[in-house]
Amino acid sequence: MTVTLPVPFCSSRLLARNDPLLGARGVALDIVGVELEDTLDAGWRRRVKRVADRLGWPAPRFAIGRGENGSTLGFTAPCDQLLTAREANEWAICAALLERDPGHWGALREALRDGTIAAARTDSARPNPATSIEEQAALAHLQRIGCDEARQDQSSR
């Protein structure tokens, strides 16, 4: 019997330069119903670093906040790529969870594909959910939207 669980976070947001979690611009994801143990933490960080490498970002600085209701996962990202970084954060934790326990987290494939995860975002930016949880497809997707986001930022100046 396969048991599926809801999405693993309650909010996904952009962080201002002076946010206490990072003290810099970046993104944060409040995870719930998940214990952030070493294997999951390492899987999340590894995937975020791969995104940063693929998109030519500076090495991200990570921060984890621990609260009564769960953990907050944050990392720094270029100011013209924050929407892409937010999506990368969502994908990275989902892919790490699926790798760790595919039986419990199998529904994350569909949640990413259908845009269900984007509903947890706290701003009004139009969601652009990852088209796949598989790494190569997700990295290619993030690279495309990252390029689009950077171009839009340049044209708005």
pLDDT at position 37 over 50: yes
Which tens digits make up the pLDDT trace of 42-51? 999 999 999 9
Q: How confident is the model over 64-108, as pLDDT tens digits?
A: 999 888 899 999 999 999 999 999 999 999 999 999 998 888 888
In percent, the amount of the chain with pLDDT more than 90 equals: 57
Q: What is the pLDDT of residue 122?
A: 53
Say if residue 157's pLDDT is above 70: no
pLDDT of 152: 80
CA 8/CA 91 separation, integer angstroms: 11
Q: What average pLDDT does this structure show over 112-131?
A: 53
Task: Provide, rounded to the nearest whole percent, the portion of the chain with pLDDT above 70.
Answer: 80
Reading phi first (left if > 0) and then psi (alpha if -120 to 50, else beta), residue 21 is in alpha
